[in-house]
A and B are shown apart, each in its own frame.
Chain A
């Protein structure tokens, strides 16, 4: 590692910490409906939206109605995206005359973008028309992120309110997140990206005559507008197949830095917004700290692993699947951040990483995408762990578990356990299935334990709604398109629904004033406990699977055994 690598990482950390209160404060104003500086600019758009859909913004609903609205809205997003893929050959903005997409791939992609996963079984530049990229994928990039923010807002209200069954208005939360947060940031970022070289046009692909005298066809398209939101909304679905490794998608080390920053920006700031809305900024920083410690630990292990030599390749730095302009450190930082947050964009091929760095990516996702996590999704996943932590801590000391003055009862704990178990269940069962079936194994690109890792990574990524891949696995088959699609649905709505139920149940409860007997959730002890619960409850489930994949691969590699 060079000094500039270290400096780059330090600047990244400083900016995340520095921007969290600024953006967090702004989002608090936006979501609580108070005055903010974007109101004169974009306020008209919000009003227009409510007028068009005929919704009264003060009309709030209980958690069930909130969930129904969310599910219906997502369902239409799915149907629309599915249909335009099935008929893209007949639709405009298709200069390359790309054919219609197979039903199973269209299903997979539609589910994938609706659930904020952005797993991609297809290659963008040879599969998707500009029409689908814009009206289908870009739109879902926005609204799936906004859906995540809406859920955490509902949860926050559930915790802060008392004796009510109203947890908010889904349409208002959705609109405000999109109009005031995602849209302006995306505009800003995409303009910077174009200035650095990310393409943004509607031209047909450019045929160039290279110096060697052969033809090379360069893909084009409205990439910058999509790349900006794919980073900011922790979506991760690349415009091109190589995602952010592609020079047209991530042309310079500076865009690379901005892309990494954009992934963490909103999820980190939401912790501050959360604290602010609960009336305790400290509570927000407590969550931020727990996330930050886990992030740092993962980063250190990954860097160590990538910079260590091994008997197979000696002391060569591992440049397979990495770009010279990013280097090893710029690639590792991206990989850790993108799997911490459920982004899933990649600037290097995770499949070619050293075994332990690949393992960190997997563990980041397996913990439930709560290390900053997806926009909104990371924080509500964290709330699930907080509920489990106060419950376990309560059991240990014999007190009624409480969080922010709310008594945590059997119902909340049950829901938290469901949210936790559905994803582990989906990952492990489907991985096992794929590992013993011929149609599961025939897609592998690597042999030995790394082949198993490819399968494990795929289902982990789908369940965590991450979307990154050990991309050697050929996932564009009926089996993988369908099974991964199902796992993405489980990983998204199997968590959102129990979490909304928790919000509804907490909103009804009274707030008990804190006393000397209250278990405190705003000190270092709590951070320690929370991390412990995350690792034990969230992580230990996967220990056997991890052992069979990256751990054994690491041990064999160090003895020079290859497959």
Chain B
């Protein structure tokens, strides 16, 4: 009986401490120290929230750089991957379809090596990044669709360079391009 009461009481104690006070404390610090990040790293243009810097978007438009394939079509409710195994025939089919599609869409040589992140879907379905190589392969198509002259095309290449994220602290991760930020930049090219 004594043990029973103690277990209820200590459970109550830790529920208040770790379930209420701790998250509130962290929220307080987060909202004071990093308000933008704590609220989703949102990006506002012309007084409209156009997305989060961290969350990928679907860009199946000829004037934009494409994101990776996504098992949830970039709908975050809920996030997730395809969970296809490597011996799944559906995956094999999807990959060869995506390969063909990427080559036709960007009018590439049929022997071009496509970076694998453009052929495989991400785990979250919301991956905001692609490799630099994958961005470069799309430049001609976008320049053509936007009727860019040579000067503008140079700016396009420049914007890829600017938006290339280097390994964090020189150590963690690989070079990558945030597609959403890049496309925001592309819209600004006059």
Chain B residues in 8 Å Cβ range of A200: 26-27, 30-31, 38
Is B126 touching A247 in the complex (CB atoms < 8 A)? yes
> Is B18 a contact partner of A143 (Cβ separation < 8 A)?
yes
Interface residue? A372 (CB, 8 A): no
Instruction: Check: A41 CB closer than 8 A to any chain B CB.
Output: no
> Complex formed: what's the CA distance from A448 to B9 in Å?
51
- The answer to whether B81 and A216 have CB atoms under 8 Å apart is no
**Which residues between 190 and 241 of chain A lie within 8 Å of chain B, taking CB atoms?**
190-191, 194-203, 205-212, 214, 216-220, 222, 224-226, 229, 240-241
Nearest-Cβ distance from residue B56 to partner chain A, whole angstroms: 8
**For the complex, is B7 an interface residue (Cβ under 8 Å from A)?**
yes
CB contact list, B44-81 vs A, under 8 A: 48-61, 64, 68, 74-81
Interface residues in chain B, defined as those with a beta carbon under 8 Å from any beta carbon in chain A: 3-4, 6-11, 13-15, 17-20, 22-23, 25-27, 29-31, 33-34, 37-42, 48-61, 64, 68, 74-89, 91-92, 95, 116-117, 119-131, 167-169, 171-174, 176, 180, 183-184, 187
Q: How far is the CB of B62 from the nearest CB of chain A, in Å? A: 11
A251 to B167, CA, bound (A): 13
How long is the Cα–Cα vector from A317 to B187 in the complex, in angstroms? Answer: 32
Q: Number of contacts between A and B (CB, 8 Å)?
A: 365
Q: Are B127 and A324 in contact (CB under 8 A)?
A: yes
A563 to B89: give the CA distance in the assembly, Å.
5
| A327 on interface, CB distance cutoff 8 Å | yes
Select one of A139, A245, A247 contacting B18, CB under 8 A: A139
Residue of B nearest to A189 (CB): B26
A226–B172 CB distance below 8 A: no
Most buried by B among A200, A322, A327: A200
Residues of B within 8 A of A91 (CB): none
A141 CB, min distance to chain B CBs, angstroms: 8
* Interface residue from B37, B57, B86, B128 paired with A211 (Cβ < 8 Å): B57
Contact at B38–A52, with CB atoms within 8 Å?
Answer: no
A220 CB contacts on chain B under 8 angstroms: 39-40
A contact residues around B87 at 8 Å (CB): 312, 355, 446, 448-450, 553, 556-557, 561-563
Closest-CB distance, A462 to chain B (whole angstroms): 18
Most chain A CB within a 10 A radius of its CB, from B6, B38, B56: B38
Question: Of B13, B26, B91, which is within 8 A of A222 by CB?
Answer: B26
Residues of A within 8 A of B125 (CB): 242
CB of B58 within 8 A of CB of A214, answer yes
Say whether B10 contacts A324, CB under 8 Å: no
B79 touches A257 (CB 8 A): no
Given A183-B17, A217-B76, A447-B89, 6 other A-B residues pairs in contact with their CB atoms under 8 A: A197-B37, A225-B26, A316-B119, A319-B116, A352-B91, A563-B89
How far apart are the CA atoms of A211 and B179 in the complex, in Å?
11
B180 to chain A, nearest CB (A): 7
Interface residue from A77, A175, A225, A316 paired with B22 (Cβ < 8 Å): A225
Of the residues A55, A199, A323, contact of B39 by C-beta under 8 Å: A199
Q: Knowing A324-B127, A562-B87 touch, does A186 contact B172 (C-beta < 8 A)?
A: no
CA distance A248 to B126 in the complex (A): 10
> Are B171 and A11 neighbours in the complex by a CB distance under 8 Å?
yes
* Contact residues of A between 163 and 197, Cβ < 8 Å to B: 171, 174-175, 178-179, 183, 186-187, 190-191, 194-197
Distance in angstroms between the alpha carbons of A220 and B20 in the assembled complex:
17
20 contacts between A and B (CB under 8 A): A65-B3, A73-B7, A76-B7, A124-B78, A142-B14, A142-B18, A187-B25, A187-B26, A190-B30, A194-B30, A194-B38, A201-B27, A211-B64, A222-B27, A224-B26, A248-B55, A348-B123, A349-B81, A355-B86, A472-B82
Residues A352 and B19 in contact, CB atoms below 8 Å apart: no
Q: Is the beta-carbon distance between A472 and B83 smaller than 8 angstroms?
A: yes
Interface: A29 (CB within 8 A): no
| B169 in complex: contacting residue of A212, A254, A327, CB < 8 Å | A254
Does chain B have a CB within 8 A of A125? yes
Binds B, one of A2-10, A420-428, A434-442, A513-521: A2-10
Q: In the complex, what distance in Å separates the CA atom of A171 from the CA atom of B9? A: 11
* A residues in contact with B75, CB < 8 Å: 216-217
- Does A338 sit at the interface, judged by CB under 8 A? no
Q: How far is the CA of A257 from the CA of B6 in the complex (A)?
A: 39
Q: Is A354 an interface residue (CB 8 A)?
A: yes
Q: In the complex where A76-B7, A321-B123, A323-B129 touch, is A211 in contact with B187 (Cβ < 8 A)?
A: yes
Chain A residues in 8 Å Cβ range of B14:
139, 142-143, 178
How far, in Å, is B113 (CB) from chain A's closest CB?
9
Residues in B whose Cβ lies below 8 Å from that of A183: 17-18, 22
Q: Which residues of B contact A512 (CB under 8 A)?
A: none
Min C-beta distance of A86 to chain B, whole Å? 17
Interface residues of A in 117-153 (CB under 8 A from B): 123-126, 134-136, 138-139, 141-143
Asked if residues B19 and A210 are in contact (CB atoms below 8 Å), the reply is: no
How many interface residues does chain A have, given as a range? 35 or more
How long is the Cα–Cα vector from A216 to B130 in the complex, in angstroms? 20
Q: Mark A446-474, 1 if CB is under 8 A from B, else 0.
A: 11111001000000000000000011100
Q: Say whether B37 contacts A196, CB under 8 Å.
A: yes
In whole Å, how far is B70's beta carbon from the nearest beta carbon of chain A? Answer: 11
A198–B23 alpha-carbon span in the complex (Å)? 13
Closest Cβ of chain A: how far from B79's Cβ, in Å? 4
Task: Pick the residue among B27, B81, B88, B174 that contacts A327 (CB under 8 A).
Answer: B174
B107 to chain A, nearest CB (A): 21
A69 proximity list for chain B (CB < 8 A)? 3, 6-7
Contact A53 B52 (CB under 8 A): no
Query: Within 8 Å CB of A323, what residues of B?
Result: 122-124, 127, 129
How far, in Å, is B27 (CB) from chain A's closest CB?
A: 5
Nearest CB on B from A475, distance (A): 12
Q: Report the minimal beta-carbon distance from B68 to chain A, rounded to whole angstroms.
A: 7
A470/B38 contact (C-beta < 8 A), A125-B78, A254-B168 known = no
What chain B residues lie within 8 Å of A2 (beta carbons)?
A: 174
Q: Measured between alpha carbons, how far is A49 from B9 in the docked complex, in Å?
A: 9
For B88, what are the chain A residues with a Cβ–Cβ distance below 8 Å?
A: 446-447, 450, 562-563
Most buried by B among A178, A190, A319, A450: A319
Q: Inside 8 A of A142's CB, which chain B residues have their CB?
A: 14, 18
Q: Is the CB of A195 within 8 A of B79?
A: no
Q: Are A211 and B6 in contact (CB under 8 A)?
A: no
Check B20–A134 contact: CB distance below 8 A. yes
Collect the chain A residues with CB atoms within 8 Å of residue B20's CB.
Answer: 134-135
Q: How far is the CA of A218 from the CA of B167 in the complex (A)?
A: 26
Q: A471 contacts which of B9, B83, B130 (Cβ < 8 Å)? A: B83
Asked if A112 CB lies within 8 Å of chain B CBs, one says no
A246 contacts the other chain (Cβ, under 8 Å)?
A: yes
Within 8 A of B (CB), among A88-105: none
* Complex contact B81–A197 (CB within 8 A): no
The answer on a CB contact under 8 Å between B124 and A242 is yes
